[in-house]
Chains A and B, each alone.
Chain A
Amino acid sequence: MFKGVVSKLASVLQNFGHRLIEQFWRLGSASRLFGYTLASSGESLRRPFLVIREIYFTGVLSLIIILVSAFFVGMVLALQGYNTLQKYGSSEAIGVLVALSLVRELGPVVTALLFAGRAGTAITAEIGLMKATEQLSAMEMMAVSPIARVVAPRFWGGVISMPLLASLFSMVGILGGYLVAVPLIGVDGGAFWSQMQASVDFREDVMNGFIKSCVFGVACTMIALFEGYDAPPTAEGVSRATTRTVVNSSLAVLGLDFVMTSFMIS
């Protein structure tokens, strides 16, 4: 019986160790893919239309979901903030609340989460399917590097789109907050903007939010590309890879957000 417990325990540990090693293995291949992508970026940037096409698919086509959610997030923030601030008689500070929470946190983070769901999954599924239908191998056969032709343009497309989308998200969210606070609730419009301008700092708030969105752009796009490139070439493999893209991107975004915020707040 004792022997049975030991062997059971050993198999559990073995399983755990195997998974851990596999995760490190995947992390290593992801970093290698990142390195290759950067190395072959020059080649794909020389044909800018490849990148422009990807900006169209990841950026322009994500606009609607980003703008609509930004609008609603801003409006909800203003409603909720007004409820609490009004108790302290400082309902004019609603502009500060909406602007700071959007510019510092919600803008980059929510955009990145939506981006992972809208654009990241598309990238993973597309590349996974290209791999499953052996299009990538065919490219290699024709001496076309699939990393330079397929992966790098998508990477730069995502990295360029993400900060633009996050800026739009913050701006539209603030407009949504303005619409609820000023015409609907009746907060003074001048106080709304002037208090906002007095407390939002360009370098500390706007630029830090912008840096965050750039980092999220790199993380989300790279995870999506790697999951697609690494997907087993079957229908099930591609579907699992797509799920993993969303899960891993969301976790990476939230984790990176904590790390960056703790550096920026000091």
Chain B
Amino acid sequence: MDRTKIDLWVGIFAAIGVAALLGLAMKVGNLTTSNIGETYTVTAGFQNIGGLKPRSPVKSAGVVVGRIDAIQFDSATYEAKVTLKLDKRYLFPKDTFANIYTAGLLGEQYIGLEPGGDEEYLQEDDKIMQTQDAVVLEKMISQFLYSKATETKE
């Protein structure tokens, strides 16, 4: 085995190895889809975020328009302060509604944005005023049971 042949084989090996890693990143992983270019940040307060996590998607009309950057507890208002990073290409009116939805019955939770009718758009560091909390199944069941119990009394 002479030197040029070894060089050639190692070159081929390294090239296809790197190509496989790139393939994993592009074709298998979501590097291409999760990479949102320019973003702007808005915040939203929720009473209860359920199982929302950082990096969960933010969707509007089912299209991913951003990701959740951070979730903190605001000790002044006792609310969860969720920071959203939205794609600069998509602008939303100031009175946009932010809801926490669940994908499917048991899927991951995401924030759905429903645009309002305001003339002005959300700017960097604005706060979304109208929010709806995550649906807590236990709460719903207990409400249901409670209402059933009051029904039977009457």
Which interface residue of B14, B18, B24 has the most chain A CB atoms within 10 A? Answer: B24
Verify B25–A53 contact, CB threshold 8 A: no
Q: Which A residues fall within an 8 A CB radius of B? A: 49, 52-53, 55-56, 59-60, 63, 99, 103, 160-161, 163-165, 167-168, 170-172, 174, 193, 196-198, 200-202, 205-206, 210
User: Which among B27-35, B116-124, B132-140, B144-152 touches the partner chain?
Assistant: B27-35
Take A55-B13, A59-B13 as given contacts and tell me if A198 and B20 are in contact as well, using a CB distance cutoff of 8 Å: no
Taking the closest CB of chain A, its distance from the CB of B106, in whole angstroms, is 12
Verify B23–A171 contact, CB threshold 8 A: yes
Q: Which B residues fall within an 8 A CB radius of A? A: 1, 3, 6-7, 9-10, 12-14, 16-18, 20-21, 23-25, 27-31, 33-34, 55
Number of A-B contacts (CB under 8 A): 83
* A202 in complex: contacting residue of B1, B6, B17, B25, CB < 8 Å: B25
Verify B24–A170 contact, CB threshold 8 A: yes
* B9 in complex: contacting residue of A49, A56, A198, CB < 8 Å: A56
* B10 in complex: contacting residue of A52, A171, A193, A205, CB < 8 Å: A52
Verify B10–A210 contact, CB threshold 8 A: no
Take A52-B6, A170-B24 as given contacts and tell me if A202 and B29 are in contact as well, using a CB distance cutoff of 8 Å: yes
Verify B33–A206 contact, CB threshold 8 A: no
Chain A, Cβ-Cβ closest to B108 = A199
Verify A167–B17 contact, CB threshold 8 A: yes
* A201 in complex: contacting residue of B14, B23, B30, CB < 8 Å: B30
Chain A, Cβ-Cβ closest to B15 = A164
Verify B24–A206 contact, CB threshold 8 A: yes
Chain B residues, CB < 8 A from A168: 16-17, 20
Cα distance A256–B145 when bound, in Å?
Answer: 50
Chain B, Cβ-Cβ closest to A199 = B30
Chain B residues, CB < 8 A from A197: 27-30, 33
Which 7 A-B pairs give the minimum distances between C-beta atoms?
A164-B17, A202-B29, A171-B20, A202-B31, A167-B21, A167-B20, A168-B20
Cα distance A168–B20 when bound, in Å?
Answer: 5
Verify A49–B16 contact, CB threshold 8 A: no
Cα distance A52–B7 when bound, in Å?
Answer: 7
Chain A residues, CB < 8 A from B10: 52, 55-56, 59-60
Chain B, Cβ-Cβ closest to A194 = B33
